[in-house]
């Protein structure tokens, strides 16, 4: 039985789908105004892998991840840099999909865009107004948070505490400080659409409610995203959806922890980011994915170059072990024709760990135990068993090791970064001992071979 920690219940729950053997998932996607960093990539990688695991366990999954293509950040960039609305959104949707595919993330079954659901959004808002749950002031539509009894349950906050703790309300048009916008009047030059309340655009929270219920139905299985979205985004989604339909919105709420740098959330606004494409270029797909799986997905994860470097080396060890097996069998590793006790034990543990709140870190630990055994055994059958339990099952669910080097020269290249690290450390030691002539000899010799050393405040890097 798969068990997942539900944010609303604050405990692990048995996963029982709405429809037998089927899973419906909605994951909050990116706001498309720039390229994405690895913090943005964590929910995409984690929840795509969870989808793969559901499929591995025999479920048919309908997976939806939206694109927010109407937002203040997009409008600000349009105004600051002169972008065309369609061009900026199309450009960064394309770039997001490119980055995610390079990272090994499968496309969602549906990637809806906010701008394609304007009519449905207007109908949804009209229903809330009809029920007396929303009100119009000067062309802007607000949702009244006091009229939904469950408000605050998802984020485990009390409405009265939120009200009393609110700052002096700037917008005196609201009935309550916590009321949020469903429809926003357009300013001159902004993208806008006609509505019963005048030209405008959807608020942030309403878009996901509309897309999720339109595509998956008024009630679906899993709503997921980063834990920074619990409040206000997911709290507001839940409130407006359940008060509109009178039904449960999402049956399970899953949230991943944030990627942090020195204890601070990785974010463009803070400036402490590393882009997905830079991380892939520097460390490789498998290292980035293993890093993101190295802690249980609900926990925060700390970024550092040292951590990434460790996972690059670790991924190389696995790739080398798998490649050696292919060499042993001359590229034709025999398939597993029956389940041996050894294979059954590893497969049972794999299922046990992922059934228990999708604990990928325990799977990685077992993976390295298997690799260690691969490196010492001479038994051909055990090598084949280890190869296929990793390559054919573990790696398939976690999106790892899909391409192995096929030539010895390619395998040798896996060692190149490690060799360069040794050379850089040797040069640093020589400089520390004031042996500058020998240190310069290393630098100049590398230049002659087309490799340049770059000294900086964060240490020495190299480039071809």
Which residue from 229, 295, 301 is spatially nearest to 38, judged by alpha carbons?
A: 301
Q: CATH 3.40.50.620 spans which residues of the chain? A: 3-256
> Cβ–Cβ contacts within 10 Å for residue 143, how many?
27
One pLDDT digit (tens) per residue for the chain, 464 residues: 999 999 999 999 999 999 999 999 999 999 999 999 999 999 999 999 999 999 999 999 999 999 999 999 999 999 999 999 999 999 999 999 999 999 999 999 999 999 999 999 999 999 999 999 999 999 999 999 999 999 999 999 988 877 765 554 568 899 999 999 999 999 998 999 999 999 999 999 999 999 999 999 999 999 999 999 999 999 999 999 999 999 999 999 999 999 988 777 777 666 667 899 999 999 999 999 999 999 999 999 998 889 999 999 999 999 999 999 999 999 899 998 889 999 999 999 999 999 999 999 999 999 999 999 999 998 999 999 999 999 989 999 999 998 776 555 455 555 677 788 889 888 988 888 888 888 888 988 888 778 888 887 667 878 78
Which CATH homologous superfamily contains domain 3-256?
A: HUPs (3.40.50.620)
Termini Cα distance of the chain: 51
Return the half-sphere exposure (C-beta side, CA atoms, 13 A cut-off) of residue 129: 17
Return the half-sphere exposure (C-beta side, CA atoms, 13 A cut-off) of residue 332: 1
Per the rule left: phi > 0, alpha: psi between -120 and 50, beta: everything else, 331 is left
Return the half-sphere exposure (C-beta side, CA atoms, 13 A cut-off) of residue 109: 15
Pairing of strands 264-265, 22-27: unpaired
What dotted CATH number matches 304-411?
Answer: 1.20.120
Are 238 and 230 contacting, i.e. CB atoms less than 8 angstroms apart? no
What is the distance, to the nearest Å, from the Cα of residue 11 to the centroid of all Cα atoms in its chain? 22
Q: Is 160 exposed, middle or buried (0-12, 13-18, 19+ CB in 10 A)?
A: exposed
Q: CATH 1.20.120 spans which residues of the chain? A: 304-411
């Amino acid at each position: 039985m798969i068990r997942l920690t539900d944010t609303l219940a604050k405990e692990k729950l048995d996963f029982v789908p709405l429809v037998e053997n089927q899973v419906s998932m909605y994951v909050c996607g990116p706001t498309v105004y720039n390229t994405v960093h690895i913090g943005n990539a964590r929910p995409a990688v984690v929840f795509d892998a969870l989808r793969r695991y559901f499929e591995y366990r025999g479920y048919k999954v309908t997976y939806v991840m939206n694109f927010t293509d109407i937002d203040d950040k997009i409008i600000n960039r349009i105004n600051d840099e002169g972008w065309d609305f369609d061009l900026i959104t199309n450009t960064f949707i394309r770039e997001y999909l490119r980055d995610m595919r390079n990272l090994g993330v499968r496309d969602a079954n549906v990637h809806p865009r906010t701008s394609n659901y304007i009519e449905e959004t207007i109908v949804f808002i009209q229903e809330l107004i009809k029920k007396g749950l929303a009100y119009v002031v000067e062309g802007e539509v607000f949702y009244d948070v006091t009229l939904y009894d469950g408000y605050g349950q998802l984020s485990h906050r009390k409405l009265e505490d939120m009200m009393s703790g609110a700052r002096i309300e700037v917008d005196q048009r609201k009935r309550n400080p916590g009321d949020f916008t469903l429809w926003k009047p357009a300013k001159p030059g902004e993208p806008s659409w006609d509505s019963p309340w005048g030209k405008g655009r959807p608020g942030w929270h309403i878009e996901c409610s509309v897309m999720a219920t339109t595509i998956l139905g008024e009630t679906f299985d899993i709503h997921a995203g980063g834990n920074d979205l619990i409040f206000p985004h997911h709290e507001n989604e839940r409130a407006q959806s359940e008060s509109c339909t009178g039904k449960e919105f999402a049956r399970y709420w899953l949230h991943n922890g944030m990627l942090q740098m020195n204890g601070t959330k990785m974010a463009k606004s803070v400036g402490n980011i590393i882009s997905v494409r830079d991380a892939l270029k520097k460390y490789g797909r498998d290292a980035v994915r293993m890093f993101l799986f190295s802690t249980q997905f609900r926990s925060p994860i700390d970024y550092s170059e040292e951590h990434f470097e460790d996972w690059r080396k670790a991924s190389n060890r696995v790739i080398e072990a798998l490649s050696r097996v292919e060499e042993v069998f001359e590229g034709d590793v025999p398939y597993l024709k029956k389940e041996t006790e050894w294979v059954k034990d590893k497969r049972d543990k794999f299922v046990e760990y992922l059934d228990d709140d999708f604990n990928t870190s325990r799977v990685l630990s077992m993976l390295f135990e298997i690799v260690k055994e691969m490196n010492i055994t001479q038994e051909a059958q055990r090598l084949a068993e280890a190869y296929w339990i990793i390559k054919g099952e573990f790696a398939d669910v976690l999106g790892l090791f899909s391409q192995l080097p096929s030539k010895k020269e390619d395998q040798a290249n896996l060692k190149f970064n490690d060799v360069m690290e040794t050379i850089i450390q040797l040069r640093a030691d020589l400089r520390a001992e004031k042996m500058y002539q020998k240190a310069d000899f290393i630098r100049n010799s590398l230049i002659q071979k087309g490799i340049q050393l770059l000294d900086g405040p964060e240490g020495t890097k190299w480039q071809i």
